Amino acid sequence: MIKQLELFKDTKPALAEYFFIIPPDTPVIRNFNFLKKKVMDIVLLPDHIRYSKAHISLFACSMRSDLDSFIIYHAEKALAGINTFIVELGHLELWDHGNISQSLVLIVENAQPIKTINNLLIDEFKFKHNSIQPHLSIARSMPIRDSLKLTPILHELNYKGEFLCNRITILKKLIDNNMPQQFKILHEVLLKN
């Protein structure tokens, strides 16, 4: 027999974070890992940065975890007419975060197609527009004292490359304050050839 209080138990679905990214190809991932290794030879990075994977971030949102099919449907709808394109990676920059930290990033030279994809997704989900500067983060939020050690060798680390953007990946992780969760691939939206 069900206890009376159990009838009023909170049965709301858990929250999940959905993260939309552009994954690079294998040669770019290899070069990204090489650059990160060079940085780690000079600067100690926390685990969550040291083990982060190469990607270009579009946006993240939090929603009920039972809305996977809604997310997939609308992402596919928003990107139905988008063709594959070449992403050109140009140069490294140190981005300031106030007077506290800096991030070492690899800049995307042809940012407009990525901004267009981001805007299409934002419009489809009716989210507030965000301004993005497409990039790959090599090392995020390093204390200034650490990032200053990299300045003399930035020219040695510089990298130019390109890859074919042929998909947008949707990652998902449950939001659980008691237990850290990992992102898992929910879906990949394939772009037209």
Q: What is the mean pLDDT of the segment spanning 102-106?
A: 92
pTM for the structure as a whole: 0.88
pLDDT of residue 52 exceeding 80: yes
Q: What gap in Å lies between CA 138 and CA 156, rounded to an integer?
A: 15
Q: Is the pLDDT of residue 182 over 60?
A: yes
Cβ–Cβ < 8 Å for 174, 15: yes
- What order of strands is seen across the sheet that includes strand 161-165? 161-165, 85-97, 101-108, 135-143, 56-64, 15-22, 167-174, 184-190
Per the model's pLDDT, the better-predicted residue between 157 and 167 turns out to be 167
pLDDT tens by residue, 2-38: 555 555 556 677 899 999 999 999 999 999 999 999 9
Query: Could you give the domains of the chain?
Result: 15-190 (3.90.1140.10)
pLDDT of residue 68: 97
Three-class SS state of 8: helix
SS3 76: helix
What does the pLDDT read at residue 178? Answer: 75
Question: CA-CA distances (angstroms) from residue 90 to 7, 125, 136, 159, 190?
Answer: 59, 31, 11, 7, 25
Angle, in degrees to the nearest 10, between helices 112-125 and 68-78: 130
Q: Which residues, other chains included, contact 8 with Cβ-Cβ below 8 Å and sequence gap of 6+? A: none
User: Average pLDDT over the chain, rounded to whole?
Assistant: 90
Angle at 181 between CA 178 and CA 185, to 5 degrees: 155
Cα angle for residues 122, 123, 127 (degrees, 5° grid): 55
Compute the distance between CA of residue 135 and CA of residue 138 in angstroms, rounded to an integer. 9
